[in-house]
């Protein structure tokens, strides 16, 4: 789960991580009043969206007067911000973060994430702060270094000092501040079940302070039951409405850019289904897992979500019944197809518990549903039917 920059900074402050003073605003008037209350003579107006690359897209503006703050807020609030991370459809900007300007001397980069190769948390750091870290990794990977953290000891003080030295910090006071900064980041990451915590840039000011000038924080969705206040931070306006609807019905849905909608039970089956569709010459339009305890109504909802994508030209249902019974899936498929007046090809492959009952329900439905004997057969049939329908 994502949260906004201003929310991430609020959480970081609770762990002693230094961040610039700032206030969030949803209107131009609120933005100007926020700048007044922060004081100073330089402010930064930042679009709050779930994406990086805001500055290059016009979503971050430096202002040297209240009139400039007013103009920047007026330009940014209500815009659709398109960056390299949003895709061409962009993200709506409903609020801005007004931050007091910082007297920057050096821009650095630091992040914490899980290294799956070592099964340990790892701190990634670089002197190339403020830049696209993916570009740095590709062009000058030697400028990024990694520090592995033992799950037994956690982040040790000597590791914090070592990272500070490698970032070019030599002043004893700055090294101490950097060590405290990294300790706060680590404690926040572990205690809140964060999946990635990225500070880009981490800045050293001319006054010798070390601040998180930006903050990106994602959370492990499976652990949100332990962090109800954080779960409430989700801004549904920033999410795909189909994914929000799916989550409300306990469905796992991820939109893709293909034309064959997929409904399966089990993440592994979903991935293999998408792979074989691709192998047969088609392209999957989504990842949708109804889970092992889907009801007839949930299956109907899954169909509605799939068909809300105008790019979907056909649907493949691939169910292996274990806990999930094939007859329940079949009833849901038939009910959904009748209620929404299904007009695209539908191929269904059922196997496992109550499979014969499921096949009978489909056969007696009176609907144009193509049955398949196995996954390979199902994928080839839906790909062929979609091609035929497009050619007609």
- For position 124, which CATH number holds? 3.30.470.20
In this structure, the answer to whether residues 319 and 228 fall within a common structural domain is no
The residue from 51, 70, 101 where one domain ends is 101
In this structure, the answer to whether residues 87 and 229 fall within a common structural domain is no
In this structure, the answer to whether residues 33 and 10 fall within a common structural domain is no
What pLDDT, on a 0 to 100 scale, did the predictor assign at position 319?
84
- The CATH number that applies at residue 57 is 3.30.1490.20
What pLDDT band is residue 377 in, cutting at 50, 70 and 90?
A: very high
In this structure, the answer to whether residues 14 and 149 fall within a common structural domain is yes
Total number of domains constituting the chain = 3
Containing structural domain, residue 76? 21-101
What pLDDT band is residue 294 in, cutting at 50, 70 and 90?
A: low
What pLDDT, on a 0 to 100 scale, did the predictor assign at position 85?
82
In this structure, the answer to whether residues 42 and 150 fall within a common structural domain is no
Count of C-beta atoms within a 10 Å radius of residue 64: 11
In this structure, the answer to whether residues 369 and 323 fall within a common structural domain is yes
How long a stretch of residues is the chain? 392
Question: What is the average pLDDT across 157-175?
Answer: 94
In this structure, the answer to whether residues 37 and 127 fall within a common structural domain is no
Percent of the chain with pLDDT over 90: 60
What pLDDT, on a 0 to 100 scale, did the predictor assign at position 293?
65
Catalytic residues: 109, 198
The residue from 237, 252, 276 where one domain ends is 237
- The CATH number that applies at residue 257 is 3.40.50.261
Question: What is the average pLDDT across 369-385?
Answer: 91
Question: What is the average pLDDT across 164-169?
Answer: 94
Name the more confident of 53 and 185.
185
pTM to 2 decimal places: 0.79
Contact 299, 333 (CB under 8 A): yes
The residue from 37, 70, 101 where one domain ends is 101
């Amino acid at each position: 789960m994502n949260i906004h920059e201003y929310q991430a900074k609020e959480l970081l402050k609770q762990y002693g991580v230094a961040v610039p003073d700032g206030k969030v605003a949803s209107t131009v008037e609120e933005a100007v009043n926020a700048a007044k209350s922060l004081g100073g003579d330089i402010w930064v107006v930042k679009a709050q969206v779930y994406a990086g690359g805001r500055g290059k897209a016009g979503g971050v503006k430096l202002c040297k007067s209240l009139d400039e703050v007013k103009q920047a807020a007026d330009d940014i609030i209500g815009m659709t911000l398109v960056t390299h991370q949003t895709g061409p459809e962009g993200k709506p900007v409903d609020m801005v973060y007004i931050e007091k300007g910082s007297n920057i001397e050096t821009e650095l980069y630091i992040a914490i994430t899980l290294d799956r190769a070592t099964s340990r948390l790892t701190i990634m750091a670089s002197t190339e702060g403020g830049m696209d870290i993916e570009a740095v990794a590709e062009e000058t990977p030697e400028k990024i270094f990694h520090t592995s953290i033992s799950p037994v000891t956690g982040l040790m003080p000597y590791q914090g000092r070592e990272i500070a030295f490698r970032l070019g910090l030599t002043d004893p006071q700055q090294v101490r501040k950097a060590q405290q900064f990294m300790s706060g980041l680590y404690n926040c990451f572990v205690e809140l079940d964060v999946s990635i915590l990225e500070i880009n840039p981490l800045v050293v000011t001319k006054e010798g302070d070390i601040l998180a000038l930006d903050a990106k924080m994602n959370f492990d969705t499976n652990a949100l039951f332990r962090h109800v206040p954080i779960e409430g931070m989700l801004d549904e306006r920033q999410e795909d409405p189909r994914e929000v609807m799916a989550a409300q019905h306990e469905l796992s849905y991820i939109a893709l850019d293909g034309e064959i909608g997929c409904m399966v039970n089990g993440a592994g089956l979903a991935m293999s289904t998408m792979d074989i569709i691709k192998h047969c010459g088609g392209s999957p339009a989504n990842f949708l897992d109804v889970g092992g305890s889907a009801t007839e109504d949930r299956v109907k909802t899954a169909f509605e979500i799939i068909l809300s994508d105008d790019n979907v030209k056909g649907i493949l249902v691939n169910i292996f019944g274990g806990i999930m019974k094939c007859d329940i899936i079949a009833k849901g498929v038939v009910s959904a197809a009748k209620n929404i007046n299904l007009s695209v090809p539908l191929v269904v492959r059922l196997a496992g518990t109550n499979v014969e009952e499921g096949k009978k329900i489909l056969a007696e439905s009176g609907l144009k549903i193509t049955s398949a004997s196995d996954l390979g057969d199902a994928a080839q049939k839906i790909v062929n039917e979609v091609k035929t329908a497009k050619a007609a």
